[in-house]
Chain A
Amino acid sequence: MAKRVAQDIPDGAVVNLGIGLPTLVANHLPADREVILHSENGIIGMGPAPAAGEEDYDLINAGKQPVTLLPGGCFFHHADSFAMMRGGHVDVCVLGAFQVSAEGDLANWHTGAPDAIPAVGGAMDLAIGAKQTYVMMEHLTKSGESKLVPECSYPLTGIGCVRRVYTDLAVIDLTVHGAVVREMVTELDFQELQRLTAIPLLRRV
């Protein structure tokens, strides 16, 4: 999945990778493309994790893991960092999700369980701020339900913000015409994919 997302990140793009699965995209960016990673806590030009023993906890990513700074990178304060997102200066944001609706609504911050401690972080800003918001998630929940849904039952992160969904089964564009399947894994035919997916799918023309 991460490898597939990485293929679609163009040379020169400024990208924010959400915590969890999306972080893995960084490991698969093609070496011939220069991609600039933005981190919500004030980094442009974020580099990979440092070698063991060289961690500096003043230089961390959104998941609070130690990272490095690439040549050309820089630091800025939090209001600037989120202005970059909200202001449309970040080209692509890749987020995980609990659910995505046919209309591109995203639910990824809260399960809504009464005993859960709510925590939103930068998810709502990221979802609506980037020029393109991609979601990377398993196609099905652990209990086998479609995570693409007619309407999100979990609390929303953003409305109509998701442009494309990468799952372990398919790549699906959410367009004004509907959910268009761009690609699917070879072991699956369209009918089987549709059977597993709770929203109507269109074949790519």
Chain B
Amino acid sequence: MINKIYPSTAAALADVADGSTVMIGGFGTAGLPDELIQALIDQGARDLVVVNNNAGNGDTGLAALLAAGRVRKIICSFPRQADSHHFDGLYRSGRIELELVPQGNLAERIRAAGAGIGAFFTPTGYGTELAKGKETREIGGRHYVLEYPIHADYALIKAERGDRWGNLTYRMTARNFGPIMAAAARTTVASVHEVVAVGELDPEAVVTPGLYVQRVVPIARTASKAGGFKKAM
């Protein structure tokens, strides 16, 4: 019998090794799997490469993981936020490496990894600093930049409902990077607020099919907190 349900976040993350690449879902605080990040902090793995859209908010979750000095490098699109002081400090003192990626390229690189694509040409970023040194090509009169997939050892994502096969549904904009990260990682750990019996999720409404998910951890429902407001330009 397939049973991907894990009893605790600690059990689900026990084997994360030092140096792992860990994708973490979420856009700001929506969809950020706080409980899984806390478990990763408690677990102790170091020298991590983290992939997330942002670089932590406030003093908890991803910001706490950064503050604990456990992240060697972060791959993200928007580290600078009103409440990203932990990242700011690490970055300014040269204690964290930043790979800044335009958000759509970040999403597509993650998607490509999950879809078995070797690389792709994207128009985004052509002619800018973020494409410096990258291979380019003109196709049909338009300029493109070659971008490579981002694979991960683990993806930590937050879903809404799930079953023991790993089928998942999400809640509103908390979906964001969850489905593509699930496909891009060797081991995907999803927290869900409700575990349902196999067959109970509407098959037309399953967003992430279970084959992309290796571990499901039930977490009591807590409302996402505010955070990560972008400063108006």
Contacts and interface: CB of A to CB of B under 8 A. Distances in A.
Interface of A: 18-21, 23, 39-43, 55-60, 62-66, 69, 75-79, 81-83, 85-86, 96, 98, 108, 110, 115-125, 128-129, 155-159
A1 B79 CA distance: 30
A86 B104 contact: yes
Nearest to A46: B173
Nearest to B224: A57
B228 interface: yes
Contacts of B27: 41-42, 60, 64, 78
Given A77-B180, A119-B78, A59 B104 contact: no
Contacts, number: 173
Interface of B: 27-31, 53, 77-81, 87-88, 91-92, 98, 100-108, 110-111, 122-130, 143, 170-180, 207, 223-230, 232-233
A33 to B, nearest CB: 25
B124 A124 contact: yes
Chief secondary structure at chain B's binding surface: loop
Contacts of B233: 18-21, 96, 98, 108
A157 B124 CA distance: 9
Given A79-B110, A85-B104, A125-B104, A57 B226 contact: yes
24 contacts: A40-B103, A56-B223, A57-B223, A57-B226, A64-B27, A75-B172, A79-B107, A79-B110, A82-B108, A86-B104, A86-B123, A86-B124, A96-B232, A108-B233, A117-B88, A119-B78, A120-B78, A120-B102, A124-B105, A125-B102, A125-B124, A128-B126, A129-B104, A159-B143
B111 A79 contact: yes
Lowest 6 CB-CB distances: which A-B pairs, in order?
A82-B104, A125-B104, A119-B80, A20-B232, A57-B224, A79-B111
B108 A59 contact: no
Contact of B224 (A41, A58, A159): A58
